[in-house]
Amino acid sequence: MLDQDFLAQQRAILEDKLRRYLAPESGDQPVELALKRRDAVPYILGALKKLDLGTYGYCDDCGEVIPLARLELVPGACRCVECETRFSNARH
């Protein structure tokens, strides 16, 4: 179980990222930023919903706990590394 301080910290990080991604665009945005924005926002929203439901930190596929180090690196992670690897390989 993740402690409340960690969860609050992750929520703040996710909300800040969401604000930045949803901020009005100024001028021409590089294609990379537009793609990152398009891909990241659903994961951020999903992670915030999981925080509200109390399921943040658990893999969507296998249900196991996502390691703390992964959540710190990728706050919007919805899969453990093993399941994310399988998911990515299946997409390609």
Question: Who has greater pLDDT, 29 or 56?
Answer: 56
Which one-letter DSSP state was computed for residue 4? H
- Cα-Cα-Cα-Cα torsion 36, 45, 83, 57, nearest 10 degrees, comes to 130
- The CATH number for 62's domain is 1.20.120.910
3-state secondary structure 27-69: CCCCHHHHHHHHHHHHHHHHHHHHHHHCCCCECCCCCCECCHH
How many domains does the chain divide into?
1
Whether this model's pTM surpasses 0.85: no
- Percent helix, strand, coil in the chain (nearest 5)? 65, 0, 35
Range of the domain at 68: 4-91
pLDDT digits (tens, 9 = 90+) for 45-67: 999 999 999 999 999 999 999 99
